[in-house]
Amino acid sequence: MTLPKGFGSGGGGGSSSADVERMIGRRVENMTGMITISFWAAWLATFGGTAAGYFYYPWAYPTQSGHFAFIVLTIIEAIGYLFCVKVMEEGSNKNSNGIVAGSIAAVTIGTILIVSFVGK
């Protein structure tokens, strides 16, 4: 990997993780919380988008269509969240299985409750 001038071992072309960490400024293994907050924000934004169809435009967007879109987008977001955290922690000794499982379980329960009670 070619690093910007001032990083790396002279002209050897090799880069260490310390050089990459200095260049980026922060290791990504420590960003599980930020990714989790982003996942929750994306899920709430998905509900907000489908809620417009549920409450403001019910004549244009049938409730079943909104539920289907909400469920499919939630599944896509959960898979993306899982992959982001697992790829981010690859090769490190960090283990955030609890926070990932808890977040996905809470979103699953929230999705089931929303689909069961909203728009009925």
Predicted confidence at residue 114, as pLDDT, reads 92
Q: Are residues 51 and 91 in the same domain?
A: yes
Q: Which residues contact 70 (CB under 8 A, 6 or more apart)?
A: 46, 47, 50, 111, 114, 115
Q: Are residues 22 and 50 in the same domain?
A: no
CA-CA distance, 43 to 36, in Å (whole number)?
Answer: 11
Whether 62 shows a pLDDT value over 90: the answer reads no
pLDDT in tens, 80-100: 999 999 888 877 777 888 999
Whether 19 shows a pLDDT value over 70: the answer reads no
Predicted confidence at residue 104, as pLDDT, reads 96
Q: Are residues 39 and 87 in the same domain?
A: yes
53-74 mean pLDDT = 88
Is-above-0.85 flag for pTM?
no
**Residue span of the structural domain in which 104 resides:** 31-117
Predicted confidence at residue 3, as pLDDT, reads 57
Our count of domains for the chain comes to 2
Question: What confidence tier does 75 reach under pLDDT thresholds 50, 70, 90?
Answer: very high
